[in-house]
Amino acid sequence: MPYGAPTVKCNVQYPEYPVHKYHQAGDLIIGGIASHGVFLSYAKDFRTKPPPTVAEEFIMLPKHYQHILALSFAIKKINDNPQILPNITLGFQVFDNYYSGKWTYHSTMLLLYTLENFFPNYICNMEKKLIAVIGGLDSLTSLGMKTLLDIYKIPQLTYSPTPVMKDQSSGLPFYQMVPKEELQYKGILALLLHFRWIWIGVVVMDNENGERFVQTVFPMFSQKGVCFAFIQKIPVVTFINDLFEMLHKGENIYNAVISSKVTVILVYGESHSLGLFRFASYLSDEDVDSKPRKLLGKLWIFTAQMEIVSFGFQRYWDLGIFHGALGFAFYSNDVSGFQQFIENRNPSITKGDGFLKGFWEQIFNCKFLSTSIHQEEVNICTGQEKLERIPALFFEMSMSGYSYSVYNAVYAIAYALHAMFASGFKHKAVVDGRLYIHNQPFWQLSNFLRHSTFNNSIEERITFDKDGNLLAGFDVINFIFSENQTVVKIGHIDSHFSPDKMLIIKKDAIIWSSWFNRSQPVSLCTPSCFPGSSKQVIEGKPFCCYSCNPCPEGKISENEDMNDCYDCTDENYPNKRQDSCIPKDISFLSYKEPLGITLACFSLFCSTITILILRIFLMHHNTPIVKASNRDLTYILLVTLLLCFLYTLLFIGQPNKVACILRETGFSIIFSVAISCVLAKTVTVVLAFMATKPGSRMSHWVGKRLGYAFVLLGFLIQVGICIIWLSISPPVPDADLHSGNGKIVLQCKEGSMIMFYFARCYMGFLAMTSFIVAFFARKLPDTFNEAKFITFSMLIFCSVWLSFVPTYLSTKGKYTVTVEIFSMLASSAGLLICIFFPKCYIILLRPELNNRQLKKRLPNFLRYITFNNSIGEKMAFDQDGNLVAGFDVINFIFLENQTVVKIGRIDPHSPPNKVLIIKEDAITWSNWFNQSQPVSLCTPSCYPGSSKQVIEGKPFCCYSCNPCPEGKIAEIEDLNDCYDCTDENYPNKKRDSCIPKDISFLSYKEPLGITLVSFSLFCSTITILLQYEKEADRSDWWIGFPYFSCYEDSPGDLQDSPAHLQSHFSDEGSILWSPLLSDGS
C-alpha cells in the first residue's frame, strides 16, 4: 500500500438473525427447516440506495406449527424409549425459512455453526453434533438446503414431494418421507375414472413444479379418456408491489373457472397458493354477495400439497364454495399421546420455542400484553385458550400427513443411528455412564438410512424404496364446511395394488355439496353413449366431446362410452339393441321339426311303395310283362331304389363323422347302381332288336351277362371315385358359425368339392346316356317296350339334378340338406313312377293285356321291318305303314307303234326341288306344237329388273310386270318383290344386278386436292419471305459468332502441334463481340 494512502475499513454487516427458532439441547442434534411464515417485501429497483433495513410484512401459517410439534414429540418419545439409542439424548434445532431462498441458505448455515456470527467457507466453530436435517416443505427449499448440506456430508430428509430435486440434485442421496409424486398422479386418475369425471379444469402454480405436473398428467390422463377444458396458472407472490397485478391474474383465473361448463376442477399447488385465487373472487366488479355463489357449482379436487386454509385471516372468509370438495393428503395415522402433547402446550410454560407465541396470537386472534400497544383495541392472550376448540381446517389436533412424515423422519434417523452404533465403531467411550462420541464419521449415516426398515411407535412398518422414497400411500379426504368445518377421511391410495385397484374409497361417507342435491356430480362434455353405440370425436373439440353413433349391424358395445363397436365371438350374435351378445342356437335338420318329419315320412312312404311293387313283381314273376322287363335287373333296380329312399334318413339328425361319410359316398354308389340298371335294361332292348336283323352279329351280345356287366361297371367306377374322394379329403362334420343368422349350423362338409361334383357328374353321365339310348329305342316294336317310360324317368332325373346345382349353392344351413334330400327323393320317385307304375297298372288292373300272343304283336314288327326283295331292291315302310317308294314319268306315243315310253321318275329320297328326274330329249311332242315344247302361261314372264303384281279378279298366275322402284333390283325372272342391294353395292341402270360402290376420299390426284395443296404451299412461301425480311433488318445478330474456315495445314500438323493451333486464337482483342452482349463478355 502506498505511503500516506487512506486506510479503508470493511465493516461486515451480519445478516439478521431469524425471529423464529426452536432449540432443545442433546448429545446429538437433528436440524429442521420449517416453513412457518411468509415475508412479503417490496421489490428493489436499484435506482436509489437501498435502506439499511428492508420493509417486510410477515404473515404466519398457523397450521404449519404442528410440523414443529411433531418433531419435538418424536424426539421426546425416542429419548423416553430405552430400546433406541440408550445413553444418548437427541436434541433438535429448528429454524424458519419464511418460503425464501435467502432465509433458506441463512437458516441452513445457522444449523452448521455454533456461533451466531459465522464466516462462510470456513470450518471453524462448526456444529459437530448435527447428524441430519429434516426439511423442507417444497422443492426449492429442499434444493437450497441440499446445496449446503452436501458440502458437509450431512443427510437430508424431506417431508414433501420434491420432483425438481430428482433431476437437479447430486451428491449424497436425500430421503423423501412422503410417497412418490407419481403415485398421487395415478391416484387422481383413479379417482376421476371411478366417478367418471372425464372433463375437468386444471389450476396449477406458475412455476417449475406446476409445469412438470401438467406435462406429466396430460398424456397420462388423455390415454385414459380424461381431457382438460382449460389449464390456468396461479401466479407466485414474490413482492408486495406486484400483489395487485398478481391478484388481477387471479381474477382472470376466477373468471375462466366460472365461465367454464366443467364441474370438476383439479388444483395443484403449494400449501399457501389457494389463498390468492380465493381472494381474487372479491376483486370483480360484480356484486360481492353473488361472486362466491358462482363457484358453488364446482367440485374441487386438491392435491396433497394444497391447503384450503393456510393463513389466519382466512377464517373470516366464506369457504362454502369448497364444501364437499375432495382432496389428497399424505398418509397419516393416529399416534397415541400426540393430542395430549399439543393440549399441554402453553406459552407461559414452554421454553425455547420461538414459534409458539406468534402461533398463539394468530390462531386465537389475540395479543400478549408485552406485544400490545393499544390494549383496548385487541383481545388479550391469557395462555389458557384451548386448542381443541379450533376447527380442524385451521389447526388439527390429530397428526396431519406432513406432521406424520416429520415424525417418521425422526424415527428413521434414530434407527439409522442405532444401527450405526451397533455395527461396532471403534471411536466410542463411556464417561460418567454416558456414551461419549468424538470424531464419529456421521456422513456414513446415509448408508444406514438407505437400508433402514423399522416399526415406529405405533408399530407401523416404515420402508424406503431404492430411490429413497417412503413406501406409503395417500389418504383421500372430504372437506366439510357446513357446520363443524372438518376434514373426513373417506378412502386411501394403496401403493401395493395395481393402478385399477389402488383406489379404496367409501362412497357412502362422502358429503356432496347441496348445489348437486347432495348426490354425485357429473362432469362430462357429452352425455354418455349408451351401450349399443360408440363415440365419434367432434372435429375442433376435445376428444371427450363427441357424438354417439349406433353400432353398425353385426357389432355391439356392451359398456358406455365405447370408442368402437366390436364383433361378437363366433359362438354368439348381437341382440336387437346391440348391447350384448347372445349365444347362437344350434341348428340342423332334425326329426323334431316339421320339415324333418315331412321328409322322413315321405321317404318311408316311398320305401313302402317300393316294397309293394317288389312284392307284386315277385307274385307275377312268370307273366309276360315281367319277363319282358328283364326280371333280374328289375329286382336289382327296385332294391337300389328302396335303399335310396331309406338312405335319405341318414341326412336327417345331428351330423357325425360316420354319417357324413355314408351320406355322400353311399348315396352316390347306390344311385349309380340304379341308373346303371336302367341303362342296362335299355341297351338290352336295343341290342335284342338289332339281333333280329338278318345277318346281324349282335346275337352274341344279347343275354343276361351284358346287363350284369353294365351294372357292375357302373358300380365299380363310382366306387373308385368315392375311394379317391375319401383318400383326398373325406366329408367331415362341420359347424358353420357365420351363415345362419344367430345360429350355429351343424352340417357335413363335403371335403373335396371337386370329387363331390365329379361323383354327381358321373351319375349325370349315366343318366344322360340312358336318356339318349331310351329316346332312340322308344318306338321299337314290342308290346312291353319300356324305353318310352325310361325316357321320361331320365328326363325327370336330369331336370331334378340340373336344378339341384344352383339351388344347392344358393341355400345355407339345414336347407342345403333339405335340397339334397328332395333331389334324391324326387329322382328316385321319378324312376319308380315312370318305369313301374305302368307295369303295375297292367298287372293289377288290365291283366288281359298281360296275356297277348306273339301274333298280336306282328304289326309292330311289320312297322319297322326293312328287307331287300329278290332283285336286291330295298323295301321299307314309313311310320304310317306306307311303303317308301317313288313314281315313274311316262310319254304316250300314238302315231305308229302306239306305245308308252318312261322318260323320268319321282325320287322320294331327294329334296323337293330335285325330286323330279326327267329326260327332256326323250319326249315326243304333238305335231300341233311343231314337235317342240308347248307354252302354257297366262302372262309372259317378267324379266329381271321387274316384279310381278297380281291382277285383281284373275288367278294368281295372271299378273302384270312392274319395273323395280329406284334403289332396288330383281336379278331373275318372275320375282314377287324387288329387293335392296347390300351396303357395299348399288343397283345398275337396268336394276337387274348390283354393282360395287366406288371408294371416294379427297386425294392428291384429283383437281380439288391439287388446288388446296398448291394454295397451302403458296401461303407457306409468303410467310417465310416475310420472316426473312424481318430478320434482315436486324442484320447484326450474327456478329460475334466465331467463324471457322478450313485450315491449310495438314491434319497431321494440327494433331502434332497444339501450340501452333493455339497461336491463331491468341489475339483476343481482334474479336468483335456481339452488341447484344451488354458487357462484351
Residues 90-120 have pLDDT tens digits of 999 999 988 888 888 888 888 887 655 555 5
Residues sharing a CB contact under 8 Å with residue 818, sequence separation 6 or more, in sequence order: 589, 595, 599, 811
Structural class in CATH, domain 21-44+54-179+336-370+378-426+436-459: alpha beta
Q: How high is the pLDDT of residue 606?
A: 93
Q: How high is the pLDDT of residue 144?
A: 87
**Based on the number of CB atoms within 10 Å of its own CB, is 109 exposed (0-12), middle (13-18) or buried (19 or more)?**
middle
**DSSP per residue, 813-857:** THHHHHHHHHHHHHHHHHHIIIIIHHHHHHHHT-GGGGG--GGGG
16 pLDDT exceeds 70? no
If DSSP codes are grouped into helix, strand and coil, which group holds residue 473? coil
Greater confidence (273 vs 383) lies with: 383
| Under 8 Å between Cβ of 397 and 339 | yes
Give 70's pLDDT tier (boundaries 50, 70, 90).
very high
Alpha helix segments (H runs only) across 593-666: 594-619, 624-628, 631-647, 657-661
What mean pLDDT comes out for the span 908-930? 82
Give 238's pLDDT tier (boundaries 50, 70, 90).
low
Residues sharing a CB contact under 8 Å with residue 902, sequence separation 6 or more, in sequence order: 888, 889, 890, 891
Give 782's pLDDT tier (boundaries 50, 70, 90).
low
Greater confidence (1069 vs 26) lies with: 26
Q: How high is the pLDDT of residue 717?
A: 92
Best CA proximity match to 467, nearest among 663, 178, 671: 178
Q: What percent of the chain is predicted at pLDDT more than 70?
A: 78
Q: Which has the minimum average pLDDT: 498-507, 907-916, 965-974?
A: 907-916
Structural class in CATH, domain 181-328+493-516: alpha beta
1079 pLDDT exceeds 50? no
User: Hey, which residues does 905 pair with through a beta bridge?
Assistant: 888, 917
358 pLDDT exceeds 70? yes
- All three cell numbers of 813: 344351413
Q: pLDDT by residue (tens digit) across 598-629? A: 999 999 999 999 999 999 989 888 888 887 77
Residues sharing a CB contact under 8 Å with residue 693, sequence separation 6 or more, in sequence order: 866
Give 493's pLDDT tier (boundaries 50, 70, 90).
very high
Please give the Cα distance from 262 to 198 (Å, whole number): 10
- All three cell numbers of 596: 324333418
- All three cell numbers of 527: 352425455
Q: What is the bridge-based pairing of β-strands 555-556 and 546-550?
A: unpaired
Task: Give Rg (Cα) of the chain.
Answer: 61
Q: What type of residue sits at position 483?
A: E
Q: In degrees, to the nearest 5, what angle opens at C-alpha 88 toward C-alphas 87 and 89? A: 125
Q: How high is the pLDDT of residue 1035?
A: 46
Q: Which has the minimum average pLDDT: 194-208, 253-267, 851-865?
A: 851-865
**Based on the number of CB atoms within 10 Å of its own CB, is 234 exposed (0-12), middle (13-18) or buried (19 or more)?**
buried
Best CA proximity match to 258, nearest among 291, 285, 282: 291
Q: With the C-alpha atoms ordered 583, 589, 590, 592, is the resulting torsion angle positive or negative?
A: positive
- All three cell numbers of 548: 354417439
Please give the Cα distance from 154 to 135 (Å, whole number): 13
| Under 8 Å between Cβ of 28 and 88 | yes
Please give the Cα distance from 152 to 443 (Å, whole number): 8
DSSP run (H or E) holding 995: strand 994-996
What mean pLDDT comes out for the span 420-436? 58
| Under 8 Å between Cβ of 899 and 893 | yes
Please give the Cα distance from 390 to 485 (Å, whole number): 10
Q: How high is the pLDDT of residue 1070?
A: 44
Residues sharing a CB contact under 8 Å with residue 965, sequence separation 6 or more, in sequence order: 978
Q: How high is the pLDDT of residue 1055?
A: 42
Inter-residue long-range contacts of 622-628, CB under 8 Å, 24+ positions, other chains counted:
623/843, 623/850, 624/783, 624/784, 624/850, 624/851, 624/852, 625/784, 625/839, 625/842, 625/843, 625/849, 625/850, 626/839, 626/843, 628/782, 628/783, 628/784, 628/785
Q: How high is the pLDDT of residue 1054?
A: 39
What residue has cell string 284373275?
954
If DSSP codes are grouped into helix, strand and coil, which group holds residue 959? strand
Greater confidence (1065 vs 129) lies with: 129
Give 277's pLDDT tier (boundaries 50, 70, 90).
low
Beta strands in 21-85 (DSSP E): 21-24, 28-34, 37-41, 56-60
What mean pLDDT comes out for the span 342-353? 85
Please give the Cα distance from 458 to 333 (Å, whole number): 9
Q: pLDDT by residue (tens digit) across 307-329? A: 777 665 566 566 777 888 999 99
Please give the Cα distance from 470 to 454 (Å, whole number): 12
Q: What type of residue sits at position 252?
A: N
1074 pLDDT exceeds 60? no
The C-alpha torsion from 106 through 110 and 113 to 119, rounded to 10°, is: 30
Q: Which has the minimum average pLDDT: 192-206, 537-551, 659-673, 919-933?
A: 919-933
Q: pLDDT by residue (tens digit) across 962-1020? A: 899 988 999 888 888 898 898 889 898 888 899 998 888 888 888 887 888 887 887 88
Q: How high is the pLDDT of residue 433?
A: 46
580 pLDDT exceeds 70? yes
Q: What is the bridge-based pairing of β-strands 299-302 and 264-268?
A: parallel
Please give the Cα distance from 214 to 222 (Å, whole number): 12
644 pLDDT exceeds 50? yes
Q: What is the DSSP letter of 117?
A: S
Greater confidence (848 vs 695) lies with: 848
Say if residue 473 is preceded by a cis peptide, omega within 30 of 0: no
Q: pLDDT by residue (tens digit) across 521-553? A: 988 888 888 999 998 888 888 888 889 999 998
933 pLDDT exceeds 90? no
Please give the Cα distance from 443 to 143 (Å, whole number): 19
| Under 8 Å between Cβ of 23 and 352 | yes
Q: What is the mean pLDDT of the chain?
A: 79
Q: How high is the pLDDT of residue 685?
A: 73
Domain ranges of the chain: 21-44+54-179+336-370+378-426+436-459, 181-328+493-516, 533-582, 654-842, 946-995
Please give the Cα distance from 109 to 101 (Å, whole number): 12
Ramachandran region, residue 767 (left: φ > 0; alpha: ψ -120 to 50; beta: rest): alpha
pTM over 0.85: no
State how far Cα 671 lies from the chain centre.
51
Q: pLDDT by residue (tens digit) across 1030-1071? A: 666 554 444 444 443 333 444 444 344 444 434 444 444 444
| Same fold yes or no, 21-44+54-179+336-370+378-426+436-459 and 181-328+493-516 | yes
Please give the Cα distance from 944 to 971 (Å, whole number): 5
- All three cell numbers of 509: 361417507
Q: How high is the pLDDT of residue 555?
A: 92
Ramachandran region, residue 572 (left: φ > 0; alpha: ψ -120 to 50; beta: rest): beta
Please give the Cα distance from 538 to 548 (Å, whole number): 10
Q: pLDDT by residue (tens digit) across 143-156? A: 888 888 888 888 99
Q: What is the DSSP letter of 113?
A: B
Q: How high is the pLDDT of residue 1045?
A: 39
Q: How high is the pLDDT of residue 1057?
A: 42
| Beta-carbon count within 10 A of 632 CB | 13
